[in-house]
Structure 1
Amino acid sequence: MRYFLALACHFVILTSITIVHGQDDGTFTDAIGEDPAPSFASLQEYMDDPAPQLRSDELVYVGGATNYWWARGEYLLWRTAGLKTPALASTSPTGTTQAAAGVLDQGGTTLFGGNLLTDSRSGGRIRFGTWLGDFRRFGVEGEYFALGDISDNFSTTSTGDPIVARPFFNALTNAEDSELVAFPGVVSGTFDAGAQSSLQSAGVRMLWNLCQSGEPISLDSVERCESRLDLLLGYRFLRLDDSLQMREQLTSQLATDPGTFDITDSFVTRNAFHGGEIGLQRIESYRRWTLDMLFKLAFGNVRQFVGINGNTIIDDGTGPQTFTGGLLAQRTNIGNYTRDRFALLPEVGVTLGYQLSPRWQANFGYSLIYLDRVVRAGDQIDRTINPNLLPPELVPFSGPLRPEFDFKESGFWAQGLSFGLTCVW
């Protein structure tokens, strides 16, 4: 019995070997298909090349370059801190006495002045950069943005009704007062005023990856799944310019004192910030969506410039004469003034991206920047005036030397939305 079982086992083994090697009768191979189990040689070849490999130039990484370069263009819709000024033009109801005409605490109301340049502004921003290696450990990025110039303008002409005046604080009487632009039977004229502002900034920075997780994927896919945190170190520049211009063109209606007057005041400020910058950028990506969170802090020097000028041209019929000084700009504060101040410039930003294709991403974001020390044109106006300085100046002169100049600084912010496209290659 034991011998019979041994012969049976030997037969089964021989039969199995014959089936595996596929005998020519085809009986068993027809039953299981035409592709038998792989041979030892084919298994060895599979182990030598277990899976197709992606080339390095076929890899896509989150939030930046698919390989080495990226560029982003954005349309900006921002608002900025307004330009604060004292009341620059005023009026009073018809019938107001000459002494009270345009005087702010005697029924006068402001026609122009206050918080100017508060409308939203359009602009543009570009960012471009490259990674300095295959593993995206280090990179460099440049940025520039500018907002369109914004302006507020005012113009009025009157032969006397309505009343038009320029209010100020009288240093001799220590009370509110005004200079008449138009008043019945006394003077007629035109008053024009305009405020302008411009803003631009640029920077360049190194990117140093602190940590990242996730895997690169094929360029043929629009989906991402990765997280990274980058340290930013670089340089930042910002320029903020303001100007405030005023002009009166007056004609006397007094038969005993005829003549014309052309009076101008000008206040100009410039702020140029240069400094080092440090920051963090966190990028989270899932499928087609990317969230980019940014915080930067620049610290350095802001050079502040203030320019004040004014003049008066009087023609009494004997020929025009030009005098230094207008109304708010007199010899006591006219000049160019410059100083340097240490300043901080923080920035925060959040951008949501949606992958349109492997190389193109649509972006929507919010940004806020703040410069803590700037000079603005309206802040440099000293509305306390000694009337004895008004051209032609009283000789001999008496009274306080007002208006005077003193640097007055404040903070400046700019914030708003961005809409753009990012391209990577």
Structure 2
Amino acid sequence: MAMPLVPWFFLMALGPVGQSAGESSGGFSPVAMPSSIFGSDWNAYGTKPVSGFTKGLPSETVQSPPKLGSDRFPGSGAWWIESDFVFAWIRGAKTPPLLAAVSAGDPANPLALPGLPGTVILAGGDLSNDGMRPGLRIGTGCWLNEERTIGLQGAFLMVGSGARTVTAGGNPSNTPFVLSRPVVDVATGASAAIPVNFPGLVQGGAVVSAKAGYLYGADAVARLNLFQRLGPDGSEAPDRSFRLDGIMGYQFLHYSDGIGIRQSLAPNGGILPGIQSISSYEQFNASNMFNGGTAGLTAEWWTGRWHLQAAGRIGLGGLSRQASVSGESAFTLAGNTVNVPAALLAQPSNIGGYRSCSLAWLPQADFKVDYRLTERVILSAGYTMLVLPEVWRAAEQIDPVVNLAQTGGIPRPVFPDTRSALWMQGITLGARLDF
């Protein structure tokens, strides 16, 4: 096909492309075009930029958000769930001596009085409802924006109940030991004891049971990022990154415990004429409920697959306390049973229900070390603790001072309204799933 005249004339006028005077035609290279031919908008190579072609495109590369499981934001899925097994210790309650024993026939200590040589305290006289107990903490949360700066999270904690029972008593062969209930005589202020088993006089036994109820609580908080620092290179998986978040929300916590004493005895030798047997029980219960707001800080450091969390917060709200004291004795006389609404440590002077409310603080701290096993699975180990001041504990509401007559003089025992701090601390082992 013949080429149009104008293009051929154009090429002939320019001469061989890329060949200057005196050169052979063996090579080609671009030749600068005079602007007078094409106009000022054309460049030296005869091309003209297309106006508006790059309009609206970003001037620099936009970094994509972190991938799920990246080290920039550990746990950077849209939401997560986690579970921790808790090896928990709860502070025990101070308990007065409730049951004591001594070898029979000791003239210096015939009734097993506390503090005298030979006396063995079988129940009470130390801390009750302490020791390690298993627990479980379950949590979940989600981020509300792609930058992971605003989120919601919540958790539920339960520590299992515990119980301890002490049983002691005589037998038909009249085992040679004295079993007694220690008290303080309100009339003299001195230690006294009521025999439960005394060879030749009375044969009986007693059971003391201390039970700690479940400690359980929950919280729901909002989370807001206050500060964050990426690693040295600012890349998607930097080293030695850090963030600090503020948390604020609602929290509640509940704890209850109880202690009971039961005894049964049969007088011998007419020491109590007409009475064939006596049985009785005393029961002390207490529960505490905290409801209020909570606020604090959560700090996180991570490097590679390792991640360290430290959180501290304090709650402020209302603490509701409830307690009850009950007791009853049954006397068997000539085959008939007479019930009396009173027992040794539960008398008309302290039997009943009690309530109290006050403002309370609830400090709490958590530390955890995480290891990212896979993109979605994180394993953790840590430490947790909380303190709830001024709670009622069942054993601490026992008044050991007794007016045995209850018909005159100082009315004792009373409800002492003793308050103390409840603390729980534990080691945690758990796992987390990111989604």
TM-score, shorter chain, exceeding 0.5: yes
Match of 1:30 in 2: none
Q: Is the 8 A contact 1:66 1:359 kept in 2?
A: no
Greater shift, 366-375 or 98-107, is seen at 98-107
Give the whole-Å Cα distance in 1 for the aligned partners of 2:81 and 2:383.
18
- What is the CA distance between 1:62 and its match in structure 2? 5.1
Match of 2:411 in 1: 401
Give the whole-Å Cα distance in 1 for the aligned partners of 2:162 and 2:108.
36
Deviations 1:301-322 (A, max 9, x none): 1001110011101102241111
Instruction: Give the structure-2-normalised TM-score.
Output: 0.81
Between Structure 1 and Structure 2, the one with more strand by share is 1
Give the whole-Å Cα distance in 2 for the aligned partners of 1:398 and 1:143.
54
Give the whole-Å Cα distance in 1 for the aligned partners of 2:316 and 2:245.
20
2:97 corresponds, among 60, 69, 87, to 87
Match of 2:111 in 1: 101
Give the whole-Å Cα distance in 1 for the aligned partners of 2:26 and 2:251.
83
- What is the CA distance between 1:16 and its match in structure 2? 5.9
Give the whole-Å Cα distance in 2 for the aligned partners of 1:331 and 1:348.
43
Match of 2:16 in 1: none
Instruction: Give the structure-1-normalised TM-score.
Output: 0.83
2:142 corresponds, among 130, 134, 138, to 130
- 1:293-308 matches, within 5 Å, as 293-308=310-325
1:227 corresponds, among 220, 228, 242, to 242
1:17–1:225 Cα change, 3 Å: farther
- What is the CA distance between 1:298 and its match in structure 2? 0.4
Give the whole-Å Cα distance in 1 for the aligned partners of 2:281 and 2:321.
23
Match of 2:86 in 1: 76
Letter in 1 for 2:355: T
- 1:93-242 matches, within 5 Å, as 93-97=103-107, 100-107=110-117, 108-113=119-124, 114-159=126-171, 160=174, 161-197=176-212, 198-214=214-230, 226-242=241-257
Give the whole-Å Cα distance in 2 for the aligned partners of 1:14 and 1:49.
43
1:10–1:371 Cα change, 3 Å: farther
Greater shift, 376-385 or 50-59, is seen at 50-59
The number of residue pairs the alignment matches comes to 385
- What is the CA distance between 1:152 and its match in structure 2? 1.5
Structure 2: 5+ residue stretches without partners: 1-18, 31-52
Match of 1:349 in 2: 366
1:48–1:310 Cα change, 3 Å: closer
Give the whole-Å Cα distance in 2 for the aligned partners of 1:407 and 1:357.
53
Q: Is the 8 A contact 1:210 1:229 kept in 2?
A: yes
- What is the CA distance between 1:56 and its match in structure 2? 7.0
Percent of aligned positions with the same letter in both sequences? 24
Is 2:432 aligned against 1:422? yes
2:276 corresponds, among 259, 266, 271, to 259
- What is the CA distance between 1:406 and its match in structure 2? 2.8
